[in-house]
Structure 1
Amino acid sequence: MKITDHLAYVVASVNRQLEEELQESLRPSGVPIEQLRVLEVLARAGSLPMGELAVKALVEPTTLTKMIDRMVSDGLVFRAPDPADRRRVLILLAPAGEALQKRLHNVSVAQEERLAKQLQNGKAEELRNLLRELIGP
């Protein structure tokens, strides 16, 4: 079996292609993919502790800490104590981060629509479900 026939290779190749395409679309804004993911996750969740945010945004915790520091400096997010446990710190979208997320949301939506069109007749949803099975619970 050639390496290009391995399922993991095909998935990695598609991932690389999609990330390159998304990064090219984000280039004019100067926002990296990881930062877009953080903005998108926080827009849906409202607030999250760093550990959960790292998992949901697919960013390594050490990378996320540096990124959040920059995003705080840029006024995109802020830290606040967790009202349920004041020892925990939550990350929340600041108004500027919310505005940026809304502006950039169309970039990821356009990519999703292009994929759905390319994979006609419900195949995009089928593929999404198959890949979720690989991720597990």
Structure 2
Amino acid sequence: MVETAMPPERLEDQLAYLIAGVNRQFEEELREKLRPQGVPIEQSRVLGLLADGQGRPMTELAEQVFVEPPTLTKIIDRMVAQSLVIRAPDPNDRRRVLIYATRRGQALWEKIGGYATEQQKRVLDRLSPADLARLTEILRGLIAE
């Protein structure tokens, strides 16, 4: 018989609470770095995903940026108005629209993309390689469920 752990009684010990706290800390830190550039965190994520030059459909971007599709539409509208991204028909399916970073969007990503890398490095400096590998594996497993 496999014994399962009892869920913690205190809110501060619940896994979801701890993950939310870490996420909040990361996002606040990143927002502070992005604020002087006038870039919301969601826009930075969009630019990061589009940095490879490949267009992405809105549904994929919404999922990867962790926002609802209507919210992403507003974000993309603002980014189009700022000439950071463009909408273009999918060459394989003309009914579908893909989002691409413009040169201006790519240049902005080159300027701000290092912020998340710096943040990650600070976190990695606090974990051993084995702990990092295990934590990454655990979190990916939780996301996949």
Does TM, scored on the shorter chain, surpass 0.5?
A: yes
What is the CA-CA distance between 1:49 and the residue it aligns to?
0.9
What is the CA-CA distance between 1:45 and the residue it aligns to?
6.2
Stretches of 4+ aligned residues off by more than 3 angstroms:
none
Of Structure 1 and Structure 2, which has the larger fraction of its residues in helix? 1
**Is 1:47 aligned with 2:55?**
yes
Counterparts of 1:127 and 1:69 in 2: how far apart (Å)?
A: 36
**1:1-137 map, 5 Å:** 1-44=9-52, 46-136=54-144
In the superposition, the TM-score normalised over structure 1's length comes to 0.95
- Give identity over the alignment, percent: 51
CA 1:121–1:89: 2 relative to 1, 3 Å:
closer
Counterparts of 2:24 and 2:110 in 1: how far apart (Å)?
A: 25
Please, what is the CA RMSD of the aligned residues? 1.3
What is the CA-CA distance between 1:120 and the residue it aligns to?
2.7
CA 1:98–1:45: 2 relative to 1, 3 Å:
closer
Partner of 2:3: none
Query: Tell me, what secondary structure is at the counterpart of 1:129?
Result: helix
**Count of aligned pairs:** 137
Q: Which of the two has higher C-alpha Rg?
A: 2
Query: Tell me, what secondary structure is at the counterpart of 1:71?
Result: helix
